[in-house]
Amino acid sequence: MKAGQRIADVLRQGQVGAMVDLRGWVRSKREGKTHAFLDLNDGSGLAGIQVVLTRPDFDGQLLALTVGTAVAIAGELVASQGKEQTVEVQAQAVTVIGPADAETYPLQKKRHSFEFLRTIAHLRARTNTFGAVLRVRNACAQAIHQFFQERGFLWVHTPIISTSDCEGAGEMFAVTTLDPRKAAAPASQPDFFGKPAFLTVSGQLEAEALALALSNVYTFGPTFRAENSNTARHLAEFWMVEPEMAFCDLQGDADLAEAFLKYVFTQVLHRCAEDMAFFQSRIDPNVLANAEKIIHESFARIAYTEAIELLHRSGRSFQYPVEWGLDLQSEHERFLAEEHFGKPVIVMDYPAQIKAFYMRLNDDCPPERQTVRAMDVLAPGIGEIIGGSQREERLDVLTSRMQACGLDPEVYWWYLDLRRFGSVPHAGFGLGFDRLVQFITGMGNIRDVIPFPRTPLNAEF
């Protein structure tokens, strides 16, 4: 079977009078007196193509052409009589490739709730919304690579199996070949790696090693967190983009994060105009205005201490306390980004006690108000979308900070070596890729922007 043409290409460039050969799935069927009409979609774009079947020539086949059926259509591209499309296909031959039983096929031509669609994640890519999400997701990934490649960053591949807890939060999935169903393994039987191993929560520590040789690098891959968070913004398996730059400080890091988001939004608006218009009309009427704002307005930048003051002065009653030294909760982040600034805000210089061990200590802080060179980018509708920092490059400071955080410096010997040999100021950040797709599309739940979500008690498919 030779591949047919892509419907999106035919709709864009097809010449009236040309013969076309299309493959796809029937999204809907309408039967009139003289003609029947199929909406054929192959995922190449939001719009399917209308296929016209002359009656009674195709009557023998109509019964089999149910919603969900995979078909091949050969015919002529003609100007459409209808208002909805400019061209359509006058079918000459229709072949059913894979039938779909109308009684049991779960996707009928009506609106299904996203909750229901999650239960049929293997089929939901055949809906308008998920097709659009997956095309935007693809365009985001391409834009990310393009952004870094244009700037000379190398894409590096950090391990998925790791023996260190980068974020120190203890939220890791264990990787083992020992069978937990068998009684405690005899001490003589070592585990596969000879020490506890986990799925990585971040490629940052390894990316730092590579940046301190290659200057500018980035990772783009899956990361795993065993946090028991059942929210619309958390996945147990999510994708993260982590640039790391040698000879860079916190300001340079924030500049990169801002330029990066602007670039990705610009590319996606350009490449996925049709899908973005769909999100605007069906998901969130502010999607396009928000995107324009991201692209054209500069982000706000404030210190954590200032953020706490703004929250105090807001007069709002929040569910979680607002106090210097406590982490910002989602409600606080969203107040700042959505209501106070109405655009992304980069919050910097967080208290050391709420941030990871590797962040550079700010000099000249009173001991009770010690801050680190951290930055979080908070986005309207999402909250934290990027977390990053300038890294602690001083061996003695890093070692004592690790000890204060209860980490054994011996375990991190290689990470400390990077501070022994040719250490330089360096910085980087992590972007939650799935949150970015949410941010761009306006989709409310992170489970609906990744094909097969992994969340607590949910790993079907």
Q: Indicate which single residue of 262, 334, 360, 435 sits in contact with ligand 4AD (rule: CB under 6 A).
A: 435
Burial of residue 122 (CB within 10 Å: 0-12, 13-18, 19+) is: exposed
Quote the least distance from Cβ 287 to ligand 4AD, whole Å.
Answer: 19
Q: Is 387 in the site for Mg ion (CB under 5 A)?
A: yes
Among residues 235, 346, 398, 449, the one that binds ligand 4AD under rule CB under 6 A: 235
* Closest residue by Cα to residue 28 from 50, 6, 5: 50
Query: Could you tell me the CA-to-CA distances from 134 to 115, 189, 211, 447 in Å, in that order?
Result: 18, 45, 31, 13
Residue 412 in contact with ligand 4AD, rule: CB under 6 A: no
**Smallest separation, CB 93 to Mg ion (Å):** 56
Stretch that binds ligand 4AD, among 131-139, 174-182, 326-334, 429-437 (CB under 6 A): 429-437
Residue 241 touching ligand 4AD (CB under 6 A)? no
**Contacts (CB under 6 A) with ligand 4AD, residues 147-206:** 166-167, 202, 204
Q: Binding partner of residue 381 among ligand 4AD, Mg ion, none, CB under 5 to 8 Å per kind?
A: none
CB 446 within 8 A of CB 235: yes
Q: Does 44 sit near ligand 4AD (CB under 6 A)? A: no
Q: Which of Mg ion, ligand 4AD, none sits in contact with 429, Cβ below 5 to 8 A by type?
A: ligand 4AD
Which among 95, 55, 58 has a CA at the least distance from the CA of 73? 95
| 351 belongs to the binding site for Mg ion (CB under 5 A) | no
How would you classify residue 200: left for phi > 0, otherwise alpha for psi between -120 and 50, otherwise beta?
beta
* E strand intervals along 247-397: 300-303, 345-351, 371-379, 383-390
For position 434 contacting ligand 4AD by CB under 6 A, the verdict is: yes
- 211 is an interface residue for ligand 4AD by CB under 6 A: no
Q: Which residue's CB is nearer to ligand 4AD, number 156 or number 385?
A: 385
Work out whether 352 is an interface residue with ligand 4AD (CB under 6 A): no
- If DSSP codes are grouped into helix, strand and coil, which group holds residue 88? strand
Whole-number Å distance between alpha carbons of 120 and 109 = 15
Query: If binding means CB under 6 A, how many residues of this protein chain bind ligand 4AD?
Result: 23
238, 299, 341, 350: which one contacts ligand 4AD (CB under 6 A)?
Answer: 238
Short-list 459, 450, 19, CA closest to 239: 450
Query: Please, which of residues 83-142 interact with ligand 4AD by CB under 6 A?
Result: none
The contact mask relative to Mg ion for 253-272 (x = CB under 5 A, - = no) is --------------------
Strand partners, 161: 199
- Going by C-alpha positions, the residue among 138, 116, 58 that lies closest to residue 91 is 58
Q: Degrees (nearest 5) of the Cα angle 231, 347, 306?
A: 115
Closest to ligand 4AD by CB, 100 or 382: 382
Residue 360 lies near ligand 4AD (rule: CB under 6 A): no
Residue 339 sits at φ, ψ, to 5 deg, of -95, -50
DSSP string, 419-430: HHSS---EEEEE
List contacts with Mg ion (CB under 5 A). 387
List contacts with ligand 4AD (CB under 6 A). 166-167, 202, 204, 225, 227, 234-235, 238, 240, 242, 384-389, 428-430, 432, 434-435
